[in-house]
């Protein structure tokens, strides 16, 4: 069951020869969610072998160029490839005139509908769901309206042990109750759900937080996610610069992960001031040991 992250870009503001601007694709059971679409995203997708036409949803955190400049090319390529399936784009209201301009100037050959789902919330809200997956958006703390995202699997139905069916002579109604996580109550006693059924897998979750300065609510909103991607634009010594630009340092990202009790921290969105950010890792792990630096073209199994 796929839950795989392709990191396409890890730069902030200015691309470098080693780092493209922010863009990711998350494969959840074969459904593709793109998160941010910086310049060169479709080139990186080509390298990674990701199908343009299989992207169903694009999540844009905010309307800064390093997070959206790849969108014009990508949408045009989708049209040239004959896309007909609708495309959902989750973005702040400021994206509306940009999309309107794109469609007016370059949308003549588009055979597919581009739906803009406007993000305007003050706490996590489900903006899309299917039978197995939920996409949530929530506000971040940046210079313009900015949103983070959580993509998570829903809790699966319980499976019933075959031995329990035979042992207790379970009826169809009783099996249904066990699958819903309930106990079976009979006149002669209770059959505990914990004895007769089990959860087939623990739901996985991925949170994306870029760009943002720290703020108290964030740790509650991303609490316990399997993997947290958090911007780490600057090292600890540049905390003043981070505050001025509404970004986060290594230590702030790590503290958020620690306070939220996440499974793993993945950081990116590095300042172009630093050709190498390897030294970031010691700072991050001093607070949250299970931290990794994201690199362009990384593939992360969640």
Backbone φ and ψ for 21, nearest 5 degrees, come out as -65, 170
Q: Give dist(CA 82, CA 85) in Å, integer.
A: 9
Q: What does the H/E/C string look like for 196-212?
A: HEECCCCCCEEEEECCC
Among residues 211, 299, 226, 217, the alpha carbon closest in space to that of 261 is found at 226
Here the tokens at position 28 are 């959840």
Angle at 274 between CA 212 and CA 297, to 5 degrees: 75
| Catalytic annotation present for 66 | yes
Give the span between the Cα atoms of 246 and 239, in whole angstroms.
Answer: 10
What number of other Cβ atoms are within 10 A of residue 292's Cβ?
16
Q: Element (H or E) spanning 134, and its range?
A: strand 133-139
**Catalytic: which of 66, 183, 282, 298?**
66
Identify whether the C-beta of residue 207 lies closer than 8 Å to the C-beta of residue 231. no
**Residue 150 and residue 201: Cα distance in Å, rounded?**
19
C-beta neighbour count of 138 within 10 angstroms:
21
Distance, in Å, from the CA atom of 168 to the CA atom of 227, rounded to the nearest integer, reads: 40
What CA–CA distances, in Å, run from 296 to 18, 248, 282? Answer: 8, 20, 20
The helix/strand/coil state of 264 is strand
Question: So which residues are the catalytic ones?
Answer: 66
């Amino acid at each position: 069951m796929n839950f795989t992250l392709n990191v396409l870009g890890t730069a902030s503001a200015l691309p470098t020869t080693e780092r493209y601007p922010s863009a990711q694709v998350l494969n959840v059971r074969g459904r593709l969610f793109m998160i941010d679409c910086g310049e060169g995203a479709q080139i990186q997708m080509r390298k990674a072998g990701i199908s343009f036409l299989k992207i169903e949803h694009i999540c844009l955190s905010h309307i800064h160029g390093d997070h959206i400049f790849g969108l014009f090319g990508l949408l045009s390529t989708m049209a040239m490839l004959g896309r007909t399936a609708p495309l959902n784009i989750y973005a702040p209201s400021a994206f509306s005139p940009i999309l309107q301009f794109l469609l007016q100037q370059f949308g003549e050959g588009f055979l597919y509908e581009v739906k803009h789902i406007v993000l305007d919330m003050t706490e996590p809200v489900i903006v899309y769901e299917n039978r197995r997956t939920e996409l949530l958006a929530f506000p971040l703390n940046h210079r313009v309206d900015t949103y983070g995202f959580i993509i998570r699997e829903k809790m699966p139905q319980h499976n019933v042990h075959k031995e329990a069916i035979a042992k207790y002579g379970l009826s169809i109604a009783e099996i249904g109750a066990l699958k819903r996580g309930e106990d079976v109550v009979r006149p002669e006693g209770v059959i505990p759900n914990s004895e007769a059924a089990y959860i087939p897998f623990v739901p996985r979750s991925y949170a994306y937080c870029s760009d943002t300065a720290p703020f108290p609510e964030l740790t509650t909103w991303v609490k316990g996610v399997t993997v947290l991607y958090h911007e780490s634009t600057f090292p600890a010594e540049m905390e003043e610069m981070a505050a001025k630009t509404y970004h986060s340092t290594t230590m702030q990202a790590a503290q958020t992960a620690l306070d939220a009790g996440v499974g793993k921290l993945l950081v990116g969105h590095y300042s172009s001031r630093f050709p190498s950010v390897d030294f970031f890792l010691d700072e991050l792990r001093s607070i949250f040991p299970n931290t990794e630096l994201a690199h362009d073209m990384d593939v992360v199994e969640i």
